[in-house]
């Protein structure tokens, strides 16, 4: 599903548009011309459906070289191993997320909590994979003629990153689970959910001007994306928390 000249949606589960496996987050393809990148990988339970949607974009598989992960939760990173195997991707993530993925550490990724909630079947396995590129805040990675800027946004989960993609006179913000449409956030009873860090991350996102808001779940904004971060910060400025998804 084409969202802008450069951004396609190639995966989305039950907390989105129901295009691929119900457990998948939004999976985006960013087309930089000579090469392309995927943002987040889904849960790893329906990779064929994601690859089918990738093929429908018209971007040849061999041009897709990168996978940028926002965080280690299974609905975002569980599919990393499978997509890397299928496409030969370089995986980019924070050092915290890289460590979890290399070990396939289900507890660190809170897969145990997801199973207890019924979000994943008891026999779901969180696949380990290598992560070649450990990212730090402010780093810039070229993807064809686009530039991906790393914005560290811990709080929802350890090592969470957002990505600001610059090109064609636009800046588009991929927020993972840090900020959803309408200023909604996701605070959970997981070991690494930290409210103070989350509040600081919301203010950081609001300080980066952006056109599109492309979050990990629910709907999205192709234009005027800034207003969602501003809504969240306006709540913080009133001394209350933005609405929580869960």
Report the phi/psi class of residue 118: left, alpha or beta, with left for phi > 0 and alpha for psi in -120 to 50: left
Q: Is 177 in the site for Zn ion (CB under 5 A)?
A: yes
Q: Which is nearer to Zn ion, 76 or 204 (CB)?
A: 76
Q: Which is nearer to Zn ion, 6 or 28 (CB)?
A: 28
Q: Which is nearer to Zn ion, 26 or 204 (CB)?
A: 26
| Min CB(40)–Zn ion separation in Å | 10
Q: Which stretch binds Zn ion (CB under 5 A): 4-12, 68-76, 85-93, 206-214?
A: 68-76
Give the contacts of 234 (CB within 8 A, at least 6 positions apart). Answer: 183
| Min CB(178)–Zn ion separation in Å | 9
Q: Is 160 in the site for Zn ion (CB under 5 A)?
A: no
- Structure token pair of residue 185: 């956030």
**Strand 170-176 versus strand 212-215 pairing type:** parallel
Q: Is 106 in the site for Zn ion (CB under 5 A)?
A: no
Q: Which is nearer to Zn ion, 6 or 156 (CB)?
A: 156
What 3-state class would DSSP assign to 74?
A: helix
Give the contacts of 241 (CB within 8 A, at least 6 positions apart). Answer: 185, 187, 235
Q: Which stretch binds Zn ion (CB under 5 A): 14-22, 53-61, 175-183, 201-209?
A: 175-183
Residue 30 near residue 143, CB atoms below 8 Å: yes
| Min CB(6)–Zn ion separation in Å | 25
Provide the β-strand partners of residue 152: 161
Nearest Cα neighbor of 135 from 156, 104, 159, 100 is 159
Residue 12 near residue 18, CB atoms below 8 Å: yes
Q: Which stretch binds Zn ion (CB under 5 A): 69-77, 88-96, 201-209, 235-243?
A: 69-77
Among 73, 92, 170, 204, binds Zn ion (CB under 5 A): 73
Q: Is 84 in the site for Zn ion (CB under 5 A)?
A: no
* Contacting positions for Zn ion (CB under 5 A): 73, 177
């Amino acid at each position: 599903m084409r969202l802008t000249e450069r951004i396609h949606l190639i995966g989305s589960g039950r907390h989105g548009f129901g295009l691929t496996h119900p457990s998948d987050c939004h999976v985006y393809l960013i087309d930089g011309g000579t090469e392309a990148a995927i943002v987040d990988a889904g849960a790893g339970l329906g990779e064929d459906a994601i690859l089918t949607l990738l093929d429908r974009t018209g971007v040849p598989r061999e041009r897709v070289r990168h996978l940028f992960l926002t965080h280690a939760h299974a609905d975002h990173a569980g599919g990393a191993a499978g997509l890397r195997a299928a496409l030969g991707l370089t995986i980019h993530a924070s050092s915290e997320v890289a460590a979890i993925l290399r070990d396939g550490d289900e507890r660190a990724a809170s897969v145990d909590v997801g199973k207890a909630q019924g979000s994943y079947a008891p026999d779901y396995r969180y696949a380990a994979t290598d992560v070649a590129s450990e990212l730090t805040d402010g780093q810039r990675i070229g993807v064809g003629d686009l530039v991906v800027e790393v914005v560290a946004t811990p709080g929802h989960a350890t090592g969470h990153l957002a990505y600001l993609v610059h090109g064609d006179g636009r800046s588009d913000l991929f927020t993972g689970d840090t900020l959803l449409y309408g200023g909604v956030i996701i605070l959970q009873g997981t070991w690494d959910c930290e409210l103070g860090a989350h509040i600081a991350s919301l203010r950081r996102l609001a300080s980066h001007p952006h056109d599109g808001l492309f979050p990990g779940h629910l709907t999205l904004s192709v234009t005027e994306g800034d207003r969602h971060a501003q809504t969240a910060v306006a709540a913080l400025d009133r001394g209350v928390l933005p609405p929580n998804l869960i």
